[in-house]
Amino acid sequence: MSIRYEYLESIDSTNNEIKRRASDYLKPWTVISAGTQTAGRGRTGHSWESPKGDSISTSLFLRPLLPPEAISRLTIIAGMAVASAIEKLYPLKAEIKWPNDVLVNKKKICGILSELFFTGDGEKNVVVGIGVNVHQQDFPEEIKHMATSIDLELKEKGRGSRKELTEGLWEEFERLYKAFEKTGDLSMLKPKYNDRLVSRGERVRVMDPVNPYEGICIGIDDTGALIVECDGGDIRKADAGEVSVRGIYGYV
Ligand code: BTN
């Protein structure tokens, strides 16, 4: 497989565009990127800002032979791909806030939204959507304290490139995905992922919708679930498809 790239100046959401075109002979491993999104979507119903020409909004179409519960592993792969691409291209250190945020200097630089959807032909499809802040110099008041961009972090050391980073992150995704296909688990990236995991060894709150709980963040297992050691020594596993995690002192 090789990745084919399409670029649109403006679209409601690159994830939506993939979904609309999935039944229309869209080839797996097609990436659709946009200069801006008018209705970008984040996780848990939030919106996602993609100011014109300043950020990466990019989505990959896949038809993976995976059980639905394993789809969240693609988000783990995508997080790792973005963090690795940032570090390869720029003098920056990237961390991952499990399961779907990439951070630089403890601030969010990237969000990932993977979605499973079915087409009329009964096919199981996935869109992996990635948003990266590249040239933004400022953010809305309510997210200022926790958001950053490549250019803000590079300071006088240079400027990011949307094209270079988009291609770099999908190439890295493809490389990791090929390794993942052989085993179906994330053992091949687990050690490096855990090295990048923010809050590892620290106390976190697992935002389980039914039963939130706290414990020490240990790392991910081979399925991408987050291992948390609760008070009293109980080990619990949080599934990436269902919950998110907060540091108990704020965003990280
Ligand atoms: C999050 O942090 O909540 C996830 C944000 C995901 C944003 C990307 S931008 C490209 C793709 N299209 C969308 O509408 N959302 C994702």
CATH code, domain carrying 184: 3.30.930.10
User: Is pLDDT of 248 > 80?
Assistant: no
What is the C-alpha separation between 31 and 14, in angstroms, rounded? 9
Q: Is residue 96 one of the residues assigned to a domain?
A: yes
What is the C-alpha separation between 200 and 182, in angstroms, rounded? 28
User: Given strand 203-206, what is the order of strands in its sheet?
Assistant: 235-238, 226-230, 213-220, 203-206, 245-247
- Do 181 and 209 reside in the same domain of the chain? no
- Do 232 and 207 reside in the same domain of the chain? yes
Q: Examine the fold and report which residue of 155, 171, 194 is the final residue of a domain before the chain moves on.
A: 194
Q: What is the pLDDT of residues 151-160, one digit of tens each?
A: 999 998 899 9
What is the C-alpha separation between 106 and 153, in angstroms, rounded? 11
Q: What is the pLDDT of residues 89-125, one digit of tens each?
A: 999 999 999 999 999 999 999 999 999 999 988 889 9
Q: Is residue 216 one of the residues assigned to a domain?
A: yes
CB 41 within 8 A of CB 127: no
200 secondary structure, DSSP code: T
pLDDT band at 164 (very low <50, low <70, confident <90, very high): very high
Nearest CA to ligand 1 atom 7: 131
CB 209 within 8 A of CB 199: no
- Do 118 and 204 reside in the same domain of the chain? no
Residues lining ligand 1, Cβ inside 6 A:
13-15, 37, 40-43, 46, 48, 57-59, 100-101, 111-113, 129-131
- Do 159 and 65 reside in the same domain of the chain? yes
For 247, the token pair is 């540091």
Residue 1 has what pLDDT? Answer: 66
Q: Is residue 250 one of the residues assigned to a domain?
A: no
- In angstroms, how far is CA 77 from the centroid of its own chain? 8
Q: Which residue has the higher pLDDT, 170 or 207?
A: 170
Closest ligand 1 atom number to CA of residue 12: 14
Nearest CA to ligand 1 atom 15: 41
Query: For residue 205, with 0-12 CB atoms within 10 Å meaning exposed, 13-18 middle and 19 or more buried, which class applies?
Result: middle
Say how many residues make up the chain. 252
- Do 21 and 66 reside in the same domain of the chain? yes
- Do 127 and 211 reside in the same domain of the chain? no
State the distance from the centre of ligand 1 to the C-alpha of 42, rounded, in angstroms: 5
Q: Is residue 185 one of the residues assigned to a domain?
A: yes
Q: Examine the fold and report which residue of 194, 220, 236 is the final residue of a domain before the chain moves on.
A: 194
- Do 68 and 84 reside in the same domain of the chain? yes
- Do 102 and 210 reside in the same domain of the chain? no
Q: Is residue 115 one of the residues assigned to a domain?
A: yes
pLDDT band at 51 (very low <50, low <70, confident <90, very high): very high
State the distance from the centre of ligand 1 to the C-alpha of 232, rounded, in angstroms: 37
State the distance from the centre of ligand 1 to the C-alpha of 154, rounded, in angstroms: 23
pTM: 0.95
Q: Is residue 252 one of the residues assigned to a domain?
A: no
Q: Is residue 206 one of the residues assigned to a domain?
A: yes
Query: For residue 236, with 0-12 CB atoms within 10 Å meaning exposed, 13-18 middle and 19 or more buried, which class applies?
Result: middle
State the distance from the centre of ligand 1 to the C-alpha of 72, rounded, in angstroms: 15
- Do 225 and 141 reside in the same domain of the chain? no
Nearest CA to ligand 1 atom 9: 131
- Do 37 and 51 reside in the same domain of the chain? yes
State the distance from the centre of ligand 1 to the C-alpha of 65, rounded, in angstroms: 23
> What SS3 class is residue 37?
strand
Q: What is the pLDDT of residues 215-236, one digit of tens each?
A: 999 999 999 999 999 998 999 9
We report the CATH number of the domain holding residue 205 as 2.30.30.100
The DSSP result for 201-230, as a single string, is TSEEEE--SSS-EEEEEEEE-TTSPEEEEE
Q: Is residue 251 one of the residues assigned to a domain?
A: no
Pocket of ligand 1, candidates 11, 12, 15, 169: which has the most ligand atoms within 8 Å of its Cβ, to mutate? 15
- Do 37 and 118 reside in the same domain of the chain? yes
State the distance from the centre of ligand 1 to the C-alpha of 46, rounded, in angstroms: 9
Counted domains in the chain: 2
Nearest CA to ligand 1 atom 3: 42
User: Is pLDDT of 204 > 90?
Assistant: yes
Residue numbers of the domain that contains 121: 4-194
- Do 123 and 48 reside in the same domain of the chain? yes
Q: Which residue has the higher pLDDT, 208 or 126?
A: 126
